[in-house]
Amino acid sequence: FELKNGDVFVVYPVINDLKKAVLVSGHARQPGFFHWKEGMRISDLFRTPSDLLSMTDLHYVLVKREDKLTNNYQFLQTDLEEIFKNGSSDANIPLYEKDEIILLPSLLSPELITTKLIQEQYLFDKEKNQWVGEDEWTSLTYLRKSVMVESSIEPTNRSIGSPNDLGTSDNINIQEETTHRYYEYSIYDYCSIPEEMVSQIVISSGYSSKKAEQAKQLVPLEELENINRPEDVISLQIRIENKNIKSRELEKKQKSEIATMITQECRKQLLDEQIDIINRQIIPTQRK
């Protein structure tokens, strides 16, 4: 297997016996299975905040536990901040075999979104008589570009070789058949960001052309026409600064709203599965 530029290589801990293990999932620095032993507690997995991803919700941590008699699941809530302060706290609950510890984010920013190409551009190599995929990996830097890319069909013929070799039989003729690009937007691989939300983020982030940005910085002509005295210049500077302050405040508010929207979506994805389990367990009980 060949690693390429931009690939993410993750190594998870290996457990010889998965029956004697606990699972850490969600907004985790190192998700996966960890060896379980008698008397194990939450603090054995997370000793300090440095064991967690930034912006982890310390006050709402779920422990999903299976009842061996009924095969139903129960959910326990604990507080990591309390555990970090006092390891003897009741919040440092004992862990049982097959427990799952679910960590949630407290706040996620758009900068954490990664943009991954999941279907590539294909070229047909006539000499090799096979399709050749052109790999691509993008990040939030290219978020706007990837949202705007549309599938297209552009049949073209081109040759690879030096200008002096054009038209010779040694050239490798490649025909570009189609370009279909589909992107997947995610955060830490546990949260998938819907495309419509990504588009909204792009618009709210204020992407605009250079001309539009330059236009924002220009002083309106009517403002300049009213300048007759030095005091008028000072007054104009004050008005411009006040306008800039309001603009920065609005931008800060928009960023906060975007972060809240992303966080709510990712928390929802992590919790929906657990809520569904609870609902499926309640229905048979109600029928009785």
Between these two residues, 253 and 192, which has the higher pLDDT value?
192
User: pLDDT band at residue 116, thresholds of 50, 70 and 90?
Assistant: confident
What share of the chain in percent tops pLDDT 70?
Answer: 63
Residues 3-29 have pLDDT tens digits of 777 776 666 555 445 678 999 999 999
Q: 22 near 45, Cβ under 8 Å? A: yes
CATH match for 1-106 among 3.10.560, 3.40.1000, 3.30.1490, 1.25.10 = 3.10.560
What average pLDDT does range 218-239 have in this prediction? 69
pLDDT at 133 over 70: no
pLDDT at position 174, please? 47
Helix, strand and coil percent figures for the chain, each rounded to 5? 40, 25, 35
User: pLDDT band at residue 99, thresholds of 50, 70 and 90?
Assistant: very high
pLDDT at position 182, please? 67
pLDDT at position 136, please? 45
Residues 151-161 have pLDDT tens digits of 343 444 444 44
Rounded CA separation 62/94 (Å): 13
Between these two residues, 274 and 5, which has the higher pLDDT value?
274
What average pLDDT does range 158-187 have in this prediction? 54
Strands 156-160 and 61-66: unpaired
What average pLDDT does range 86-111 have in this prediction? 94
pLDDT at 232 over 60: yes
User: pLDDT band at residue 75, thresholds of 50, 70 and 90?
Assistant: very high
Range(s) of the chain covered by CATH 3.10.560 = 1-106
How far from 135 is each of 4, 9, 112, 158, CA to CA, in Å?
A: 9, 17, 22, 19
Strands 21-26 and 100-103: parallel
pLDDT at 32 over 60: yes
Between these two residues, 209 and 117, which has the higher pLDDT value?
117
pLDDT at 114 over 50: yes
User: pLDDT band at residue 246, thresholds of 50, 70 and 90?
Assistant: confident
pLDDT at position 221, please? 58
Mean pLDDT of the chain: 76
> How would DSSP label each residue in 158-170?
EEES-GGGTTSTT
pLDDT at 256 over 60: yes
pLDDT at 266 over 90: yes
CA terminus-to-terminus distance, the chain: 54
**Per-residue DSSP letter, 114:** E
Q: 56 near 135, Cβ under 8 Å? A: no
**Amino acid sitting at position 204:** S
